[in-house]
Structure formats: C-alpha cells, structure tokens
Structure 1
Amino acid sequence: MDVQVPLTTSAQKFKSKFCQWAQSNLPEHGTRKFTNSLDNVLMSHLFERDNDVQIIIRNLVDSKELSFSYKGEELLTAPDSRMENLYIGIIMPSWERGLRHICRDEHVYDVVSWFFHYASQYVARSRMIDVIASINLVYGRTCDFRGHKMIRFLKEKSNCKNSLELALKSEAVPIYKERLSSNERQLFYLIEQSNSLDPFVHRIHFNFLNSCKLLNSGFYEEAITSLDKTVDVIQQYARERMNINGSDNQRDLTLTAFEMSGEEKHQLARLYDIRNFFGGHPSMSKWWDFSEIFDEDIDQFFVAVKKVINRLMVHENSHRVVEKSPVLWSTWFLDNAMILWDAVWFERIQKNIR
C-alpha cells in the first residue's frame, strides 16, 4: 500500500513551481499527465526510495600525498596505496531510480527523472564539498571531485555502510589513526561542522575554492572577483539567516556581526572597490600591473575571508536550518524541496538570461 502524507509548505510550493514550468516547456499532452505523475512521486515514490541508497566512490583531483583517513556516518575518505589520490566515498539518496513506471509519458519522464538526478547529485556534491572545502581551509589545497575514477551502485539502506567501506577498500587503503596531528584534528572538526547541503554554505565554498584556483593559476583579477562573490554570499546569509539588513552598509553590518576587526572590515571594503574597478568592468588604468600593485592586499583579503567563513560555519552549526544528517531522505526532500528547485533546476536561468 502506498505511503501518503500531507505535503509540507516547501513541497507544495515546489509542486506549484514545477507544474507551472512544465506548462511552459512541455507539449500540451505531456502537461496533462505531469501533475499526476509528480503527485505520485511526492506522495509515494520518495518514501519507497528510503529503502535503497546510492553509493559513490570518487578520487579527488590534486590530492596527492593527502594521507588522512576519515570515517563519518555516510562519508569515508582514504588515500590509495601510492598516495597519488585521496578517495572519497559517500551515501546518497536514490530518488531518480524507479521513475519509469510512474512517468509513462516520455516527456514527463525526461523532465522528472532529470530533476531528481540533479537533486541527488546536489546531495552527493554537498558531501564532497564539505571535505574539499575543509582541505582547502586547513592545507590550502584546491582539490576537485571530478577525478578520473568513479564507482556508483545501488544498495539496500540496511547494509549500506558495510558496502561503502568495502567499495572504498577496493580503491584505497584506509588507515584510521589513534593519534591525529593538529592539522588533522582541525580538518576533521571542519568536515563535521561544514554543511554544504545548505545552499549558502555550498555557494560560499564553491566561490572561495574558485578564487583559490584562479589565484594559483595567476588569474589575479578573476580571483578577486570570485573572492568578492564569496563575501557577497556571506552577506546574503546574514540577511536571510541572521536578520541583518542594510541598504548601503550590508557588508559592514555583516562583518560586525561576525566580530571582524576594524582593519579586516576595511580590507574587505577595499576588496569590493578593487573588484569593481578591475573585475566588474574593464580597467581604465594599470591593467598590466594589478598583481604588483595589490600583491600584499590579496594575501590579506584571503586571510580575512577565510576567517569569516570559519565564523559563519560556527553560526550555521548552532542555528541549523537545513538538516545535515537526515534520518529519512524523503522527509528531508519535502522539507527542502524549494532549496533544491532553486539550486539545481533551470527556471532562474531561463528568466534571467536571453
């Protein structure tokens, strides 16, 4: 017998948004079937999928000689025997599986299955970004989860943790130390604290990692632009999650709330000015000499932004809105459906880009 529960407010809004999108983007005969199919997914399919999970093992790019092994509830890391790659294994929902028998119309199936594929992918990437961002904050390395190796398979939830460990051991050599170095203790603390399922945290990590990669590659103006984007997302977090609102002084109010010093606030106001002059528009002067003029500033900017990120993670951990370790992924989806809609679907792109 199908499991049915009342939809949450987020899920109701998601359903409305998705149906409106389908009316504008699917053939007419498909839109008539879309609502019924989506109802079946939300009211029944998601709960059935709680019995199974997907397991993914991937190697991280630029992870040579990272030798730590970490064991969390649904996340494992370990290096290979040559210390050439750090492998990461995660457990993720299987929402996109089994949709064919619900969505009989091919157009409906394509849209619904792709959305739930992207939604599951968001969860997987969030788990990996928690590790990659923590590595960056501790070791300064800019790893990437898009390595050359990926193992992916479906497993019953009841035995998934053993299966995850066995799958990781096929590629890596876990060595769990009794005594950790100070860097490893800090790293594990950050992995456990970071919650990239929250899109604010996810976007902060994404932009900060990009800024570090650009800086390492010598793209200084682009690095500054991406670094300022990081601060901008932090300001958005402060506005929505901390009720800090300012028309002309949002940055200053945000940094004050995170107890940044006067000098640090000045540095990040300067970051904004430099980003506008060199990154927001083609520079009218000294375009060749950017890195020489602002070399010391750039180092200070990165130190200050990293400090704000750490403080934001502490705040998010104490005032959590998006559950990091849900008991049931079906319930988590219904609570956060609109977060996923905004993060992974095409509606906003279609509205804002010609």
Structure 2
Amino acid sequence: MNSSLQNQNARAKSLILKWFDESSQPPEMRGKLASGVDRFIDEIAKRASWSECMTVLLGDHSTPHFQASGQGWRADPCKKGLAVSTIVPGWGFGWRTVFRDEYVHNVLSWLGHYARQYVHRAHVAKVLMIAWERDRTVLHPFGSEGHFQRYGAITPPALPRTALSTAVEASVNCWGGVEAAPRSRSRWTRRNTFDPAIHQAVFHFLRARSLLSSGFELEALVAFDCVLQALQTIVWPRATGDPRRSRSDLIATLGLHQDDSQLAEHVYFLRNEFAAHAGGWRWWDTGEYVNDELMEKVSDVALRVLNSAADAEPTTRRISPEPDNWSDWLIESFPLLFSAIWFRA
C-alpha cells in the first residue's frame, strides 16, 4: 500500500474515531471500532464487482412524462409515476459475516448504508431538478414505492447498462408501461450533484418551493436563503470579495447581476429579522415584506445562483461524479462525505 493511500485510510479512521470520542459512545468499544474500521476499508476494496440497482417511484398528484439518463442512472415514466433507477456500490448489505461484534456491526454497516444511499440520492437529485425545470413539479426523493436488485455477492456482477435495463423492465411490470416519452436535454443530467454543496442546495430549493406552495412564506424565505448558504461552503477560485461570508460576493463571483446581489442581501436581512430569529418590530406585518411577488423573485434568484454554481463546479471540483473505483472514491472524499452522511451527536 502506497503512503498516499495509507494517509487517506488513516484520515478516514481518525474522523470516525473523532466522532466516537465526541459523542456518548461506550468507551470500552473504542479499540474494537478502530479495528473494525480497518476491516471496513479492506472489505469495500474487495467489493469492486458488488453493486446494487435501486429504483424509486416518484410522483403523486402529477406524473412527469420525460426520459433522462446518465452514467449510472436513468428515469423512465410509468403509469403510476416516474421510475428512477440508480447504480450504487454494494455497501448496504453483507456485513454480518465481516463484523461479529454487534456494536461495531451496527456502526459500520450503517456507514456503508448511508454512503451508498448518498450516491443514490445524488443521482435522484438530478431528476428532481429536471422535473422542476420542465414541469414546475416538486417531487420527493424517497418515492412511494421501490424495488432493488443486488449484484456480485450471490447474483453474478452486471454492467451498469444491463442492470438499468433490467430495472426498467421490472418497473414496467410493477407500475405499468406508457408511450415513449421525450428525452430531457437538461443541463442537470450532467451537473455534479455528488458535491454536498450542490446536493444540499437542491434540497433547500425544492423544500422552499414546497413550503411556498403550502403558504409557509417565512419558512420558504429561509430555505431560499439556505440555497446560497450551502453554496458558500465551496471555495470558489478567482473569487470576488469573500463569497464564503457575503451573499453578494458569492453572486458576483458567479457572474450574476448586481440586482440579484441586492435582492439576496435583502432576503438575508428579512431572514434574520423575521424568520430565523425573533424580530423586535412589526412582526404581524411581515406580509408587507414577504408577498407573492417578492417570493417569486427570490425563487428566481435562488435558482439562477444554483444553476450558475452547478455549471461552475468543475472549476473547483472536490468530488468526482463518475469514479472508476468506488472504494477509492469513498476514502479519497471521506472528509467531505462523512460530514454529509453521518448524524452528529
């Protein structure tokens, strides 16, 4: 093992043990967990041929009618909804024979589950944005139904294209087929939703639209502002000012208009005065500030910033959306991923 890989493994292990030390875990289990992490890292390296094809059915009141696909995912309409299938690493099963200790098994099997779940949701996030962009439909990534197929452990390994085709057939059998759908050419098919900042910004934008449709204007205002706040965690090259601290500096760095900066700062002001904190003045009259016209403008700005950030992401890429080796990808990106997938104590 080369020194770079050893350092990456040690860094991942130290982050897990740091979580252990800072949370209310049984002290006597530290040594067993440390040994378990070593086995976890060794095991995922052995699972290069293991994968899982996960499919969720999206849509309730409205069913988007489009087809979209990328490396490791595809979306196809069925009678009951939009079937989204993703290829994820085989980390969500088969841990009982690796870890005999119940505590170690509980922690590290969940780690494998959450990591492969993140890959799935990152792909689904693309489809959610395509649905909004195309039909102004807010879909929930969990879906109402689903199915899956595992490869490599018992069933022979399968190429992603083969596994996805098999998943489409299963979806038609489960939920019914429909006539051929137009293929989406959205930029979201290629944008990197594996970056936690982009991924989280998608979540906040869609949550804001859902809140707004239910009449929760103040809560939606906070969520729209959180789109920008999430994107500020990226260290942007050739930054104008300090985009990690200032909404207007982030917008200027992404090359958007000054009017967008002024509105973003106004939203941040309203968030702090009325929504995120208890304000000291005219709380009954927030409707005079947070009206339908303003909220649509805020939504447009948040979406433009999100789109621009997603298009600019390759200039500051922190995580690969199409890795050749998933175990290397997990260990190399572990500091970024661990904070995104693991619950804090």
Verify same fold: TM over 0.5.
Answer: yes
CA drift of 1:38 comes to 1.2
Q: Secondary structure at the match of 1:50?
A: coil
- The residue number in structure 1 matching 2:12 is 14
Unaligned runs of at least 5 residues, structure 1: none
Q: Secondary structure at the match of 2:12?
A: helix
Write the distance in 2 (CA, Å) between the matches of 1:281 and 1:26.
Answer: 33
Q: Is 1:218 the equivalent of 2:226?
A: no
- The residue number in structure 2 matching 1:166 is 166
Write the distance in 2 (CA, Å) between the matches of 1:247 and 1:191.
Answer: 27
Per-residue CA distance 1:245-287 (angstroms, 9 max, x = gap): 5399622221111122222211111111111121122344444
- The residue number in structure 2 matching 1:304 is 301
The alignment covers a number of residue pairs equal to: 333
Contact 1:61 1:143 in 2 (8 A): yes
Which stretch shows the higher mean deviation, 307-316 or 90-99? Answer: 90-99
Per-residue CA distance 1:210-268 (angstroms, 9 max, x = gap): 1111111110000001111111122222xx24364539962222111112222221111
Q: Secondary structure at the match of 2:76?
A: strand
Q: Secondary structure at the match of 2:30?
A: helix
- TM-score, normalised on structure 1? 0.85
Q: Is 1:39 the equivalent of 2:26?
A: no
Write the distance in 2 (CA, Å) between the matches of 1:5 and 1:102.
Answer: 25
CA drift of 1:191 comes to 1.9
Q: 1:219 to 1:89 in 2, by over 3 A?
A: same
Q: Is 1:154 the equivalent of 2:150?
A: yes
Write the distance in 2 (CA, Å) between the matches of 1:313 and 1:206.
Answer: 14
Q: 1:62 to 1:290 in 2, by over 3 A?
A: farther
Q: 1:21 to 1:276 in 2, by over 3 A?
A: closer
Write the distance in 2 (CA, Å) between the matches of 1:53 and 1:37.
Answer: 22
Write the distance in 2 (CA, Å) between the matches of 1:96 and 1:297.
Answer: 44
CA drift of 1:143 comes to 0.5
- The residue number in structure 2 matching 1:49 is 47
Write the distance in 2 (CA, Å) between the matches of 1:62 and 1:292.
Answer: 34
Q: 1:139 to 1:242 in 2, by over 3 A?
A: farther
Q: Secondary structure at the match of 1:71?
A: strand
Q: Is 1:91 the equivalent of 2:87?
A: yes
Write the distance in 1 (CA, Å) between the matches of 2:314 and 2:10.
Answer: 27
Q: Secondary structure at the match of 2:233?
A: helix
Per-residue CA distance 1:160-191 (angstroms, 9 max, x = gap): 432322222222337666x75xxx33x2x222
Which stretch shows the higher mean deviation, 279-288 or 138-147? Answer: 279-288
CA drift of 1:289 comes to 4.3
Write the distance in 2 (CA, Å) between the matches of 1:21 and 1:249.
Answer: 27
CA drift of 1:317 comes to 3.1
- The residue number in structure 1 matching 2:233 is 236
What are the residue-to-residue correspondences of 1:255-294 with 2, within 5 Å? 255-294=251-290
Which stretch shows the higher mean deviation, 243-252 or 301-310? Answer: 243-252
Residue 197 of structure 1: which of 180, 183, 194 is its match?
Answer: 194
Contact 2:237 2:315 in 1 (8 A): no
Q: Secondary structure at the match of 1:132?
A: helix
Which stretch shows the higher mean deviation, 17-26 or 63-72? Answer: 17-26
CA drift of 1:72 comes to 2.2
Write the distance in 2 (CA, Å) between the matches of 1:60 and 1:248.
Answer: 34
Q: Secondary structure at the match of 1:324?
A: coil
Q: Secondary structure at the match of 2:333?
A: helix
- TM-score, normalised on structure 2? 0.88
Q: Is 1:136 the equivalent of 2:132?
A: yes
Write the distance in 1 (CA, Å) between the matches of 2:333 and 2:147.
Answer: 27
CA drift of 1:319 comes to 3.6
Write the distance in 1 (CA, Å) between the matches of 2:268 and 2:228.
Answer: 9
- The residue number in structure 2 matching 1:251 is 247
Q: 1:222 to 1:8 in 2, by over 3 A?
A: farther
Write the distance in 2 (CA, Å) between the matches of 1:116 and 1:199.
Answer: 17
- The residue number in structure 1 matching 2:26 is 27
Write the distance in 2 (CA, Å) between the matches of 1:13 and 1:215.
Answer: 42
Contact 1:133 1:205 in 2 (8 A): yes
Q: Secondary structure at the match of 2:131?
A: helix
Q: Percent sequence identity over matched residues? A: 23
Q: Counterpart amino acid of 2:131?
A: I
Residue 342 of structure 1: which of 329, 339, 344 is its match?
Answer: 339
Q: Which has the higher helix share?
A: 1
Unaligned runs of at least 5 residues, structure 2: none
Contact 2:40 2:108 in 1 (8 A): no
Which stretch shows the higher mean deviation, 197-206 or 250-259? Answer: 250-259
Q: 1:315 to 1:54 in 2, by over 3 A?
A: same
Write the distance in 2 (CA, Å) between the matches of 1:315 and 1:11.
Answer: 30
Write the distance in 2 (CA, Å) between the matches of 1:125 and 1:20.
Answer: 26
